[in-house]
Amino acid sequence: MIEIKNIKQIYLLGIGGIGMSALARYFQFIGKQVRGYDKTPTSLTLALEKEGIPIHYKDDLTKVPKPEEKDTTVVIYTPAVPVNFAEFLYFRENGFSMYKRSAVLGLLTAGRRCIAIAGTHGKTSVTTMTAHLLKQSHIDCSAFMGGISKNYETNLLLPDNNSPFIVVEADEFDRSFLQLHPELAVITWMDADHLDIYGDHQTMVKAFGDFVSQIHPNGTLLYRNGLNIDGQWNTQIQYYSYSINELSDYQAIDIHIVDGAYHFDLKTPTGVIENLCLTYPGLMNVENAVASCAMALLSGVTADEIRLALAQYSGVVRRFDVRYKGKKTIYIDDYAHHPRELEATIRSVRDLYPGKRVTGIFQPHLFSRTNDFAADFAAALDLLDDALVMEIYPARELPMEGVNSGIILDKMNSVSKLRCQNSDFPAILGNYQPEILLTLGAGDIDRLIEPIINYLVENENV
């Protein structure tokens, strides 16, 4: 494995990924030369460039480390990089040390008090919120987050003291989370997903079991009540459940909304913490807060510190992200790309804005996921008043015959549904009168955010 002290240069293939960019920032912070490649410029790659990290966007071997630099260079890549990509082949053929992002994250967490947040959805929010609660306490932490924290405007946190705690998002894709050996862990959900990797739901659940088996002896697993968690996965750890509506070890009680903010008390195994406030919207974020508060308490954060920090939590970019509030329309952007996430986001909107007309723009992510869950996507989108479904964002996949966004619309019962192209926006919104507008998806739908905001501003008084 890598001896970081002997490495001068870090090169990242796919540097613009949310996990990769956090590693880039970390290695730059500790004094390594960092550069990389990505397919397209994004707000994240542009931010890295402003921070002094060179990035190129064309397959150009003149911009990569030279063969004579191989002994002092580490190449980090993601599973999304094709193995026939020219730069990938160049590094492999010239004997460079090459590691997946997950392996490097495993290395950086080794020997630390690792808090790992896993789950098919909700993990980014719980990771970011947990990191915030520790960061604002006497405990402090490092954190590698799967989203941009709005409190800190970054996906990497570094401790102000010598805190041994490190909070990380434990990704089940490509079995990445099996590189981690945490002291404390969370499982938020285990819905079927990434079946292109696992084949079936049962195999995916087994991988979660393998993850739990790697928790340190005398460590702790916190899991969402209702998940099929097997205590035999690891008999040397403590198990705790959490929920917002079922009797659990950690549970939000007396949830109510005051001036748009959620107020609740937190039942714990040792008593009740009263009068917690979460100003970040969405009922699913109250559930995320329960998990995060539990992790903070188990790490030694005090109740008073939690109460103060939770009220200051600002959320994550692209997670129930309120981007515009006008007289006619409120616009919310969300990363939801799994049917359960879509349903949770739309129901939270209905909860916050009862009686309002909700128009959603959804970009499916991956041909395989669309094919596997078309009926479930349809059922979730039927919760909207108007559903505009874009073409599938392929990400790492090649097209699948007969699989397109139309197979979702074919299964929908809604009268107001439309298949559309990226280029249709934002002008197509003139055909609708949304009181609440949502953009939903994990692809490049975020490129529509600024044009949509500009459109809403221009039409505010029309």
Q: Is the CB of residue 433 less than 8 Å from the CB of residue 357? A: yes
User: pLDDT of 376-417, one tens digit each?
Assistant: 999 999 999 999 999 999 987 889 999 999 999 999 999 999
The values of phi and psi at residue 22, to 5°, are -65, -40
Distance set, CA 408 to CA 223, 364, 457 (Å)? 31, 9, 31
The domain that holds 421 is classified in CATH as: 3.90.190.20
219 pLDDT higher than 90: yes
| 139 and 288, same domain (yes or no) | yes
Give the rounded percent of residues in the chain with a pLDDT score beyond 90: 85
Q: Which pLDDT does position 2 carry in this prediction?
A: 67
First to last CA, the chain: 62
Give the rounded percent of residues in the chain with a pLDDT score beyond 70: 99
Examine residue 305 and state whether it is found in any structural domain, yes or no: yes
- pTM, full prediction: 0.90
| 303 and 358, same domain (yes or no) | no
Q: What is the arithmetic mean of pLDDT over 264-292? A: 96
Coil, strand or helix: which one is 198? helix
| Range in 138-147, 215-224, 335-344 with the lowest mean pLDDT | 335-344
Q: What is the arithmetic mean of pLDDT over 203-207? A: 96
The domain that holds 228 is classified in CATH as: 3.40.1190.10
Q: Which pLDDT does position 206 carry in this prediction?
A: 97
The values of phi and psi at residue 144, to 5°, are -110, 110
Residue type, 209: G
Examine residue 316 and state whether it is found in any structural domain, yes or no: no
| 329 and 445, same domain (yes or no) | yes
1 pLDDT higher than 70: no
Examine residue 299 and state whether it is found in any structural domain, yes or no: yes
Q: Is the CB of residue 179 less than 8 Å from the CB of residue 146? A: no
Question: Of the residues 311, 335, 364, which one is the last residue of a structural domain?
Answer: 311
User: pLDDT of 78-110, one tens digit each?
Assistant: 887 888 899 999 999 999 999 999 999 999 999
Examine residue 106 and state whether it is found in any structural domain, yes or no: no
Number of compact structural domains in the chain: 3
User: pLDDT of 301-335, one tens digit each?
Assistant: 999 999 999 999 999 998 999 999 999 999 999 99
4 pLDDT higher than 80: no
Comparing CA positions, the residue from 230, 227, 232, 221 lying closest to residue 246 is 227
Q: Is the CB of residue 145 less than 8 Å from the CB of residue 169? A: yes
Sheet holding 358-362, edge to edge: 321-325, 330-334, 436-440, 358-362, 386-389, 417-419
Examine residue 285 and state whether it is found in any structural domain, yes or no: yes
| 251 and 400, same domain (yes or no) | no
| 125 and 250, same domain (yes or no) | yes
Q: Which pLDDT does position 289 carry in this prediction?
A: 98
Question: Of the residues 101, 125, 158, which one is the last residue of a structural domain?
Answer: 101
Q: What is the arithmetic mean of pLDDT over 371-380? A: 96
Q: Which pLDDT does position 302 carry in this prediction?
A: 98
Question: Of the residues 101, 134, 152, which one is the last residue of a structural domain?
Answer: 101
| 351 and 277, same domain (yes or no) | no
Examine residue 48 and state whether it is found in any structural domain, yes or no: yes
155 pLDDT higher than 70: yes
The domain that holds 69 is classified in CATH as: 3.40.50.720
Q: Which pLDDT does position 395 carry in this prediction?
A: 84
| 333 and 400, same domain (yes or no) | yes
5 pLDDT higher than 70: yes
Examine residue 87 and state whether it is found in any structural domain, yes or no: yes
Strand partners, 165: 113
Examine residue 377 and state whether it is found in any structural domain, yes or no: yes
Query: Which of the pair, 89 or 351, is modelled with greater confidence?
Result: 89
Comparing CA positions, the residue from 158, 195, 168, 155 lying closest to residue 105 is 168
3 pLDDT higher than 80: no
Q: Is the CB of residue 333 less than 8 Å from the CB of residue 439? A: yes
| 20 and 83, same domain (yes or no) | yes
Q: Which pLDDT does position 462 carry in this prediction?
A: 62
Residue type, 284: M
Q: What is the arithmetic mean of pLDDT over 262-270? A: 97
Distance between CA atoms of residues 166 and 158, nearest Å: 9
Q: What is the arithmetic mean of pLDDT over 359-371? A: 96
Distance between CA atoms of residues 445 and 399, nearest Å: 19
| 196 and 244, same domain (yes or no) | yes
196 pLDDT higher than 90: no
User: pLDDT of 46-83, one tens digit each?
Assistant: 999 999 999 999 988 999 999 999 999 999 998 878 88
What value does the mean pLDDT of the chain take?
94
Distance between CA atoms of residues 152 and 117, nearest Å: 19
| 346 and 412, same domain (yes or no) | yes
- Mention every residue, 6+ apart, whose C-beta is less than 8 A from residue 197: 173, 174, 175, 204
| 77 and 194, same domain (yes or no) | no
| 241 and 176, same domain (yes or no) | yes
346 is in which domain, residue-wise? 321-458
